[in-house]
């Protein structure tokens, strides 16, 4: 799950996060969940000479606009399963300023949570087929997590009503599972986070539903490649901004847009913390340190002009303003002296 922080220019220092509001250079902005509103700054974007959207030989399958179905009640969690501290309050937790560092003891627990999240995600993906509802996927994910003695981290986070995020077609992220049936040709991102033995493991992947057109397949393929290129840039002492540069270069090469509004985050004992990970070109300061754990989770859209989003009335579902398809992949990683270890692998 990505993080929402207020509007800022990409060549400024990060805002101070306090009491649900952020202040920077004399400005105060009300925070909303899970998004960073980021303006493009001079010199950070290449000239727009790259191809736009699908290639000439590719045809997009016609899709009806995404509509909201009926959202069922939150599912119960057995009383013996430990809850994260935010459960029981609809107040959005602050983004922790703590840089989450793992040692030999804590990394064992962190890996266990991440491996469970990866297994749940893999099995959830097997459920994706036409006529299946996202609510059915939520129920299956919920059962897999509680059967493992873990808690589904999204459930109750700032009032989120479900145990997993399911984002279909033009939904960028944080889609709420409901009664809508998946259709042949849909793409769907499933975002799983589990809380096990006091640690969160966070991962997501975009899956195909039935027969998907070539343009959509290419979007999904390039999005995963962008995530992996961002991860490959990571190691102790490297600037965080290198992640965004690597992702942007690859996305631009293929004519896709990189969504600026949603970012990666530190993760461990706390669900969302510093560092904030920008996936587009930026001049934000900071270097990676051995032992840090955080997510890299870029969202790409079909064409570089389609990166803006609209929020549904539920306060969570973010869809592309122009209805273009969006895809996302996410891993939780551990920074080492020589590189980065992907923790969310089965």
The answer to whether the annotation marks 330 as part of a ligand binding site is yes
**Is position 184 annotated in a ligand binding site?**
no
| Nearest alpha carbon to residue 156 among 74, 251, 40 | 74
Task: Name the packing angle between helices 106-125 and 134-147 (round to 10°).
Answer: 150
**Tokens 């979007």, located at residue:** 219
The DSSP line for 192-232 is: EEEEETTEEEEEEEEEE-SS--HHHHHHHHHHHHHHHHHHH
Is 297 annotated as a binding-site member? yes
Three-class SS of residue 156? coil
Task: Report whether 265 belongs to an annotated binding site.
Answer: yes
What residues form DSSP beta bridges with 168?
188
Q: Residue 84: left (phi > 0), alpha (psi -120 to 50), or beta?
A: beta
Residue 108: enclosing H or E segment and its boundaries?
helix 106-125
Extract the runs of DSSP E, i.e. beta strands, from 56-158.
Answer: 151-152
HSE-CB at 74 with a 13 A cutoff on CA atoms is 16
Q: How many CA atoms lie within 13 A of 337 on its CB side?
A: 0
Asked if residue 202 belongs to a known ligand binding site, the reply is yes
Return binding residues for a divalent metal cation.
Answer: 191, 202, 265, 297, 330
Return binding residues for substrate.
Answer: 174, 272
Return binding residues.
Answer: 174, 191, 202, 265, 272, 297, 330
């Amino acid at each position: 799950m990505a993080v929402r922080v207020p509007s800022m220019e990409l060549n400024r220092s990060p805002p101070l996060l306090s009491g649900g509001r952020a202040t920077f250079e004399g400005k105060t902005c009300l925070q909303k969940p899970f998004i960073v509103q980021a303006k493009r700054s001079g010199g950070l974007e290449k000239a727009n000479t790259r191809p736009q959207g699908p290639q000439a030989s590719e045809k997009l399958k016609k899709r009806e606009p995404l509509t909201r179905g009926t959202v069922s009640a939150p599912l119960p969690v057995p009383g013996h399963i430990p809850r994260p501290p935010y459960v029981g309050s609809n107040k959005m937790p602050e983004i922790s300023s703590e840089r989450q560092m793992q040692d030999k003891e804590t990394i064992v627990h962190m890996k266990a949570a991440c491996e469970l999240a990866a297994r749940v995600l893999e099995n959830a993906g097997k459920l994706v087929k036409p006529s299946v509802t996202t609510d059915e996927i939520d129920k299956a994910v919920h059962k897999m997590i509680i059967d493992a003695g873990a808690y589904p981290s999204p459930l109750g986070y700032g009032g989120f009503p479900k145990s997993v995020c399911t984002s279909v077609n033009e939904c960028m992220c944080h889609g709420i599972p409901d009664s809508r049936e998946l259709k042949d040709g849909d793409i769907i991102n499933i975002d799983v986070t589990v809380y096990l033995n006091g640690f969160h493991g966070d991962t997501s992947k975009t899956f195909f539903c039935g027969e998907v057109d070539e343009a959509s397949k290419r979007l999904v393929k390039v999005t995963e490649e962008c995530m992996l290129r961002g991860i490959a840039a990571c190691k102790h002492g490297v600037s965080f901004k290198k992640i965004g540069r690597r992702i942007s270069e690859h996305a631009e090469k293929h004519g896709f847009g990189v969504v600026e509004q949603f970012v990666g985050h530190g993760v461990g004992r706390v669900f969302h913390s510093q560092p904030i990970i920008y996936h587009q070109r930026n001049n934000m300061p900071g270097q990676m340190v051995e032992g840090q754990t955080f997510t890299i989770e870029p969202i790409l859209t079909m064409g570089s002009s389609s990166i803006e989003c609209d929020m549904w009335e539920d306060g969570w579902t973010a869809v592309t303003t122009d209805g273009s398809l969006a895809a996302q992949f996410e891993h939780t990683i551990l920074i080492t002296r020589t590189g980065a270890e992907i923790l969310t692998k089965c």
